[in-house]
Amino acid sequence: MMFREHVERIASDIIGEFPADGGIYAVTFRIDSVDQDPRFPYVAIGYTTEAHVAEQADAASDSWEARWSYAFFPQTGLEGVRTVGRDPDGAETHRRGAEFRGLWYEDDDEPGDRDERLVEWFYEVCVGAARHLHESGRITKVLGRPVPVILYDMFDPDAMFELTSDANPAGLVAEFMTEDPGRPAQGEESASSGY
């Protein structure tokens, strides 16, 4: 099994654990790595709820922040329900994939640009897993309707908008994307795929 397939399968299982009637409006993918080492990535998969947004409304500077900023996500959105990537099968398939791509290195090796390439590969895997959740109908089946998947890396906040845009049908993330600092001015064509 390939690493991407493993992440897709576990992500689908995790979504199946979500409460169907819990007021969930977004699935969250917090992209991280053990000790900030890109050789050991994982994604914490969780969700945010309408009830939590209502609780945070007074603490946030505006409604967008209360709803979409990971700083205001509940524990289920920040830490996730479960993680995938550092589980035994995930760690093994990730390492095999990294070795196959020439990205793996040992502690005493000079990584060169392999760190950045490992991060980019993991981003691709996470975007692919989110797309798979939409295309397979898994999110709709569990939650009763399509909801966006918000991908974020707290150590690279600028990546959040591009990753989320690439992972979701454009209509699902229109509200989220209004705060994208790289968003074209009104009337300009977006370079994003908009999936």
- Please give the pLDDT value at position 189: 46
pLDDT of residue 195: 67
pLDDT at 190: 46
The dihedral region occupied by 112, where left means phi > 0, alpha psi between -120 and 50, and beta the remainder, is: left
Each residue's pLDDT tens digit, 68-93? 999 999 999 999 999 999 999 999 99
Task: Give buried/exposed letters for 30-40 (b at 16+ CB in 10 A, else e).
Answer: bbbbeeeebbb
For the chain, which ranges sit under pLDDT 70?
183-195
Q: Where are the domains of the chain?
A: 3-177
pTM, two decimal places: 0.92
Q: What are 55-64's pLDDT values in tens digits?
A: 998 999 999 9
Kind of pairing between the strands at 24-33 and 149-152: parallel
